[in-house]
Amino acid sequence: MATNADNRQQVSAADRQACAILVPQADSLGAVAVVRSLGQHGYQVHAASAKPGALGCLSAFASFQYQCPAYEDPAYLSWLRNLIQSANIRAIIPSEGFLLAVRDCFAEFSPLMAIPQDAELVYGCLSKVFVFNQFLQSADQQLHAHISRTAVLDNHSDFDAVDFTGWRLPYFVKGDGYYARSGDQALVRKVGQAQDARQAVNDAFAHYHKVLLQDCSQGVKATVNLLMQDGQILAESMAVASHENPHTGGLTSLRESWWFEPMYQDAVHRLKALQWNGPAMVEYKWHQQSQTFDFIELNSRYWAALNLDIHAGIHFPAIQMDYFLFGVKPAQPVRLTTKIRVRHAFPADFGYLLSKLKDPQVATHRKLKSLLGFFLYFLHPMIKSDLNYPGDRRLALQNTKSFLMELAQSCLKKLS
């Protein structure tokens, strides 16, 4: 496979430096990786966040830093328009929060974003309910495979038509902003008993026009990460979780690169069916013993674990901007083939450890092993840190310092 160097050799440093790119919500891990990738390759990076001390704004790869109004602040759109004009912003790398903030004026800002210009598709792809509905309503039977038992409900009576044969507890009732009766709040409710599912669905319909009902998929989190532009794959990687916070399933805190071709092909097929354009993380549950997988959700934006990719030299954001701004693309998809493990110690892996220590079902010897492992991982030469990146290592120290201060304050409050 090609390396990412094949692509960026064709765009000059001067051309990149002349292009101002806005990275909003620079307090998130994914945005930190975007700032690093673009800045390392010479782009003029404008990092913005409503939060003081946002890590992306502190990055050595950020050319300009802004503490902007919060998305819900009426002043945000005026601030955004002024920045675009004054800084001559050529492109915006949108987060989900940013997209929701500009929803009412999407057509105004969409030409600056390397994503579909179709607002229904863009906002629909942020919705679990919309995405599953698209797949389940399709005549393409491939889109029905590798999905946990799922029902998209349009009203209360649809619950009675669901055949629960073979469903595995717990069940999950989900709603999101795309179908919300008001606001944009998401719902994920876990139901431990089958007899409680009806009431959970009824409660959800008080707030949503459509509701997703699913059973529980077995396995650990695994992802297929793709950059698709104009129907072409420009870059690709896969990762599987070793630790999740909580340990029963959640945010990935320790992960490693891997490859499983059937899952990769399934992800590509789904994005092409949606006609998605831009970065996307296609998330699955992977059951190693049976070699089976279930599609869980689509994250149609840059993912939190993007630091793994740029640690390995696969710079999705720089590849995307080279194509979007200059029409330059790699001769073939840039694929992550090297073996790499990356960890987010604080707070994610610390949370993984705490969840195991608090779980009465975890044996004592396993708790002690995890406790020892948490500290030894800091010394492991083959495990990289999300934030300890060459040329930008101070972010790791800043993050650790902030976490320990918050932890100390929390402990003092409990003691007082």
Position 413 scores a pLDDT of 85
β-strand pairing of 89-92 with 171-175: unpaired
pLDDT at 9: 55
Reply yes or no on whether the pLDDT at 13 is more than 70: yes
Give residue 59's pLDDT. Answer: 98
Instruction: Give tens-digit pLDDT for 285-308.
Output: 999 999 999 999 999 999 999 999
Residue 3 pLDDT class (50, 70, 90 cuts): very low
Structure tokens at 205: 């319909």
Q: How confident is residue 327, by pLDDT bands cut at 50, 70 and 90?
A: very high
d(Cα 80, Cα 77) in Å, to the nearest integer? 5
Q: What are phi and psi of 230, to 5 degrees?
A: 55, 40
**Is a pLDDT exceeding 70 seen at residue 2?**
no
Which of 185-198 are b and which e, b meaning 16 or more Cβ less than 10 Å from the residue's Cβ? ebbebebeeeeebe
Radius of gyration from C-alpha coordinates of the chain: 22
Each residue of 14-57: pLDDT tens digit?
A: 999 999 999 999 999 999 999 999 999 999 999 999 999 999 99
Looking at residues 186-202, what average pLDDT do you find? Answer: 94
Asked if residues 228 and 218 have their Cβ atoms less than 8 Å apart, the reply is: no
- Find where tokens 């903030």 sit: 101
H helices present in 21-95, as ranges = 29-40, 55-58, 76-86
pLDDT, the chain, mean? 95
* For the chain, percent of residues with pLDDT exceeding 90: 94
Which pLDDT score, from 0 to 100, does residue 10 have? 83
Tell me the per-residue pLDDT of 248-273, one tens digit each, with 9 for 90 and over: 999 999 999 999 999 999 999 999 99
Distances (CA, A) of 116 to 122, 277, 279, 329: 6, 6, 11, 18
Domains located in the chain, CATH noted: 5-116 (3.40.50.20), 128-145+149-214 (3.30.1490.20), 220-341 (3.30.470.20), 345-415 (no CATH)
305-321 pLDDT tens trace: 999 999 999 999 999 99
Residue 4 has pLDDT above 80, yes or no: no
Coil/strand/helix, residue 177 = helix
Share of the chain above pLDDT 70, in %: 98
Q: Is the pLDDT of residue 218 over 70?
A: yes
Q: What is the pLDDT of residues 159-175, one digit of tens each?
A: 999 999 999 999 999 99
